[in-house]
Homo-oligomer: A and B are copies of this chain.
Amino acid sequence: MNKVDINFKELASLQATLKTMQEVDIAEFLIKMEPEKRTIVMTMLPKDVLAEVFAELPRDLKTEVIESFTNPDLKDLIDELASDDLVDSLQELPSNMVTKLLHYVDSDRRDSINKLLNYPEDSVGSLMSVDYVAVKKSDSKSDVLKKISQSPADHEHLDSIFIKDDKRQIIGYFYLADLVRLQEESLDSIIQWNPVKVYTHDDQEKAAKLFNKHSLLSIPVCDKEDRIVGIITADDIFDVIADEIHEDYSLMQGMGTTESPYLETGVFSLASKRIVWLLVLMISATVTGFIIEKYQAVLSSTVALAAYIPMLMDSGGNSGSQSSTLIIRSMALDEIKERDSLKVLWKELRVGLVVGSILALVNLVRMMLLSQVSINICVTVSLTLLMTIVMAKLVGGLLPVLARKLKQDPAVMAGPLVTTVVDAFALVIYFKIAQLLMGIG
């Protein structure tokens, strides 16, 4: 039996099914197929659909497609690819393949594609598309309509049409929708001045924040001279928003930031990013180790105290990271201003008192019923639990605020420091209370 088992009836029904499918779904469908069948299915797709499906394929399948396509087919594919999709694909591929592909890029497009390829990773320039429409204030409505229909820009690039002056500097924009529905009005009356804009070398995060703040569907991108050179659309921003948040949490957990996709990053590269944080934890451990050594007399006289160290540290660590996460998140969202940090801290402290009191009480009852230790130890552990939780909220809340004051990234500074400081304080509180209540040391 032949591996490529073509049944023409099935083929016709497949073709009908493909027509009803979204590009992403076709891509997922192709990924699961055998290579031989995949090639056949791809030849059945209309050119424009093929280009969008190609953009959704993983790197290895893109390579496969490029190697299996004839040169004219490859040129058609590249012509159909939107500039940002083309650049994204090129950035994924090995350099010999990039050279081959650039060869097929139309000469009038090659300059802009080359420029896009050279913007730093995570910059606005590397995210933008060059398919936008900009007109002059003096253009007539029919000039504008002509420019729109001649542009390679897709619907998402056409929500706003930009207005540039004679120096190509952007001075305004209008919505295509307004042009359509307010047909009797002059172009001038629907133009909005002072557009929100970003620059090619801005961080993508800045663009994401502006999209969210101003509820944008697109934003113009300018070079240093305020000349419009590209556009970013809302559908490009979803991933940026998600990545930025995940990055913050990664930093807080000492995982560093990964520029390349996780599965494609090497073991040693991942390890090198995490080792720093774990080394910091080890230095912190020297502190906690010293504290325990200092109070060794207490511990020797009552070894039972050691049994509660893990619980106290876990509770403290968790309470502290809850507070620091909340503060860092609020700061990242720009939801909470500097003055509100204190409000959050105050609230966290009260939450800590409520949670700590309940836990301390439950712990006291539990220990008195279940464990064989003296009442003094029960009270020591419960009191420490309460004080540790409140202290941890204070430390976890204060450190990110302090980090920001010192112009450090709160996410980087908060994670390891909170653990270090909370651990040390919790142990000191524990042994001090033990000394006081049990008269040791």
Contacts and interface: CB of A to CB of B under 8 A. Distances in A.
Interface residues of A, number: 116
Contacts of A375: none
A363 B314 CA distance: 22
Contacts of A344: 262-263
Given A238-B212, A245-B246, A275 B358 contact: yes
A288 interface: yes
A21 B268 CA distance: 50
A347 B253 CA distance: 18
A177 interface: yes
Contacts of A20: 193-194
A84 to B, nearest CB: 11
Interface stretch (A60-68, A104-112, A213-221, A223-231): A213-221
A263 B159 contact: no
Contact of A180 (B180, B282, B288, B303): B180
A58 to B, nearest CB: 11
A245 to B, nearest CB: 5
B180 A154 contact: no
Interface string A228-245: 000001111111011001
Given A149-B180, A282-B359, A292-B310, 11 more contacts: A21-B194, A155-B159, A158-B177, A159-B217, A234-B235, A262-B330, A267-B350, A267-B351, A278-B319, A282-B366, A285-B308
Interface string A125-163: 000000000000000000001001101001110110000
Interface stretch (A37-45, A320-328, A400-408): A320-328
Interface in A165-210: 175-183, 193-194, 196, 208
